[in-house]
Amino acid sequence: MAEDKIKEGYTEVDFRNGASGVFTFAETFEGEIQPVSFEILRPARKMAEKLGTKVTSVLIGYNVKDKAKELIYRGADRVIVIDDERLRVYTTLPYAKAITEVIKKEKPEIFLFGATTTGRDLGPRIAARINVGLSADCTDFDVGDYAYRKKKQYFRNVAYFIRPSFEEAKLATIIGPWAFPQMATARPGVNEPFPRDTQRNGEIIEFSVDFSDEDFPVEVLETVKNIEETVDFDSAQVIVSGGLGVGKEGFEMLKTLVHAINENGQDAVLGASRAAVDAGFVPHKHQIGQTGRTVRPGLYLAFGISGAIQHIEGMKHSKVVVSVNIDRNANIFNVSNIGIVDDYKNIVPVLIEKVKNGYKFPDFKKKKED
């Protein structure tokens, strides 16, 4: 491709100007590295390996240095640690200053943040400071070439930031090799962290930032946690999910099934499609899909869910999918290991009965990991 384009009169552009390395922001809360920071090491490694470069995580906080090796165990080659008592709690301006200084010194080629509340606040702030673009809420990452037709320029190994667009119905690939680093936020829950490998070695570098009092215009007096109970999709072995097709009455049945599975010693939680949430059958915290949660259970049971692309996006990483739908052409069957064409009312009560009598679902998650 590259050679063909050069023959066609394209000029190859050396756009990096010395920038190299894939960097990630390691987010902490109360001194603990947040899961998204391990998740983003997977796409970071994928890109770094294609570029033949290293992955560096930037870890900021107070008394966090001993946590740096955890990032190495999960895929980082280097960890830059900025440890300062005044950075104990996240505030935008000092964190933005710290990372901007790291960028100016290290000149990374790519910088990734988790698309969490913190990452969504911090990433754009830094991008604006150094005058680069930022692709928000990406679900996939890659590296590839780009032929810029208008100017007949050819760019090798550009970062591809991929995210749903057009009301989440299509995937767009966004590039920006005009200014460095190429920056993006990654949607949490999409990338599976690498298993913890304590044999991995890496470099831990202390980095100091010359802060002045003006860098801390905001003082956090108190942090109040939202104590609304969340749905623990991450540790669930089984997700029992319902769609518009089961109605309110069906959700009562599904809740009974979830309860029976838990009583029987297996972790199960209730999931739902957006249509079911919009209909008011269950709160939004149960929603799975592009605008809900991304889940990876061992077993995903889908009742009365048609299988819209936005729903599939959130559950396609399930190890085994069993779906029940009265419509044999329902799209959910295309992503199911087992599809049952039937009314959910004929299946769910039988399952409840079986589980109450001691039936345990196979632990597919564990089986695949073993």
Ligand X SMILES: Cc1cc2nc3c(=O)[nH]c(=O)nc-3n(C[C@H](O)[C@H](O)[C@H](O)COP(=O)(O)OP(=O)(O)OC[C@H]3O[C@@H](n4cnc5c(N)ncnc54)[C@H](O)[C@@H]3O)c2cc1C
Enumerate binding residues for ligand X (CB under 6 A): 167-168, 243-245, 273-276, 287, 289-292, 304-306, 308, 310-311, 314, 324-327, 330, 343-344
Whether residue 19 contacts residue 109, with contact meaning beta carbons closer than 8 Å, is answered with: yes
Nearer CB in complex with ligand X: 114/289 = 289
Nearer CB in complex with ligand X: 43/307 = 307
Q: Match 């809420």 to its residue by tokens.
A: 137
Q: How far is the CB of 317 from ligand X (least distance, A)?
A: 14
Nearer CB in complex with ligand X: 233/344 = 344
Nearer CB in complex with ligand X: 158/288 = 288
Q: How far is the CB of 186 from ligand X (least distance, A)?
A: 17
Q: How far is the CB of 347 from ligand X (least distance, A)?
A: 8
Q: How far is the CB of 187 from ligand X (least distance, A)?
A: 12
Q: How far is the CB of 231 from ligand X (least distance, A)?
A: 14
Q: How far is the CB of 369 from ligand X (least distance, A)?
A: 27
Nearer CB in complex with ligand X: 21/189 = 189
Whether residue 132 contacts residue 181, with contact meaning beta carbons closer than 8 Å, is answered with: yes
Q: How far is the CB of 350 from ligand X (least distance, A)?
A: 14
Spatial separation of the C-alpha atoms in residues 150 and 222, rounded to whole Å: 53
Nearer CB in complex with ligand X: 143/301 = 301
Residue 317, phi then psi, degrees to nearest 5: -90, 5
Nearer CB in complex with ligand X: 55/136 = 136
Strand order in the sheet with 55-61: 134-138, 182-186, 110-114, 22-26, 55-61, 78-83, 203-206
